[in-house]
Amino acid sequence: MPNIVHPFRLGPTESSELAGVLVHGDGFWVIGPADFPSFIPRSLAAKFDSATCIISGSAGETPVILYNFRRIDGPEVDEHPYGAMLVSGSIAISSSFLDHGDWPNTQRTTPITPQHAAYISASGIGGYFLQHPPEGKMSGSLCELPASDLDAFNQSITSALAPQP
């Protein structure tokens, strides 16, 4: 299925919130719902278990921030990347969700592992990926980014820059 880019308009307050994340510098870390951007609609954020926050170019003029949100979709896990580009590290010039993504090297939707299914049966979905991040990594450099997050990041940039129908 082709990538579908959904533009997301940000005002000065939202841009400032994103710019505040840049203090972490380049790299990634896994976050829970308490750390999701406040401007993500609550009805949407409620569907997500966790996200990998990825920052690239934090010292440059146009840093990129991507949140790769994860949610349970039946017997599978779906990834929902949200990315933003900032000018001079403060004003978001582009922001979008990538829907129905097509990752070239990994799957955007993956089957739930038996351990995850047992966790859901025992206590619900809340916080599974926050406690069990992809490839077991809670944070790291961009070179250590788990494959699926790297594909989501690259595909989001490529899709956001491509002409839209």
Question: What residues does 140 pair with on adjacent strands?
Answer: 28
On the CB side of 141, CA atoms within 13 Å amount to: 1
Domain count across the chain: 1
Per-residue pLDDT of 94-138, as tens digits, reads: 677 666 555 555 555 555 666 766 665 555 555 666 776 777 788
- Residue 94's nearest CA partner among 4, 3, 6 is 6
Q: 80 vs 90, which has greater pLDDT?
A: 80
Q: What is the C-alpha separation between 35 and 56, in angstroms, rounded?
A: 19
DSSP string over 123-136? H-STTHHHHS-GGG
- Residue 71's nearest CA partner among 80, 59, 62 is 80
Q: What is the C-alpha separation between 95 and 15, in angstroms, rounded?
A: 10
Per-residue pLDDT of 56-86, as tens digits, reads: 988 888 888 999 998 877 666 788 888 888 8
Q: What is the C-alpha separation between 28 and 104, in angstroms, rounded?
A: 21
Domain with 20, as residue range(s), is: 4-161
Element (H, E) at 160: helix 147-161
